[in-house]
Amino acid sequence: MTAEQASEAQEPTRHSQPNSLHPEKRPASGMEDVVHVFQLPGDATISPAAVPSGREHAVPSHPIVTVACPAAALGKEEIIQLLNANTAALESGLRAIDRAVPCDPSRTIDLLAVDSLNQLVVIALEAALDDGMLLWAISQYDWIVRHVPILRKLYQGQVINFSSQPRIFLVAPEFSQQLTCAAHRIQSPRIGCYRYRAVAVPSGTAVLFEGA
C-alpha cells in the first residue's frame, strides 16, 4: 500500500446528513378551502366559512346565507324568516320548530329551535343594539322551564330532550361590551351571541352570521 492509499484509507467517509438545527420547512397551512355548499329551498344558499387550521381549539365556522332581496329590506322580520328556514346558519344541526311563540302578554319567542342533541334553544333577535334583549331572553327561558308539560303537548311530534336545560341564542347586528361580558359570565342557561352582517352581492344579499 502506498502512502497516498494509506492517507485515503484513514480519512473518514463523509455522508450527507440532514441538519438537525434546520428542519425541513413546510408551507404555511393558512386558510382551508371551502369544501361544501348546501343548496336550500328558494333563493337561499349556505356555504361554510373557511376555518383556520393548526389551532388546538378552533372557533367553529358560521355559514354565509345568501338571500335574493335588497340589503335595505333586511329588517327583524326578514332575518327571522331567514333563520326560520336556515337555522343551521348559527350552528350545525340546529333546526327551528316554531316561531312567534307567545310566552308573555306583550312578548313572543322569536324562534324556538332544537340543537343536534335535541335540546331546546330560545333564539331572540333584534335589528339594532339592544341590551334589554338579554333580560327578555332569560325571561323566555324561564317561561319554558316552568311550562314543560304544555310544551310536551304542543310539540309531541318533535324529538326534544326536556331533561336538559334549554339554551339561549342572541342574534343582532351588534352587541355592547356589557351584554357580551354578562352573557359569557352566565353559566346557566348557556348563552350564545351571534352578530349578523348584510352585504350586497350580484345574486342578492349575503348575510354573514358569526359568534360574538
pLDDT in tens, 106-141: 789 999 999 999 999 999 999 999 999 999 999 999
pLDDT in tens, 27-37: 333 322 222 22
25-48: buried (b, 16+ CB within 10 Å) or exposed (e) per residue?
Answer: eeeeeeeeeeeeeeeeeeebbbbb
Say what the pLDDT of residue 126 is: 95
pLDDT in tens, 143-157: 999 999 999 999 999
User: For the chain, which domains are there?
Assistant: 36-50+59-211 (3.40.1350.10)
Summary mean pLDDT of the chain: 76
pTM above 0.85, yes or no: no
Say what the pLDDT of residue 68 is: 60
pLDDT in tens, 4-13: 554 444 444 4
- In this prediction, residue 203 has a pLDDT band, given cuts at 50, 70 and 90, of confident
Geometric angle at alpha carbon 180, from 179 and 183, rounded to 5°:
85
pLDDT(50) > 80: no
Say what the pLDDT of residue 45 is: 43
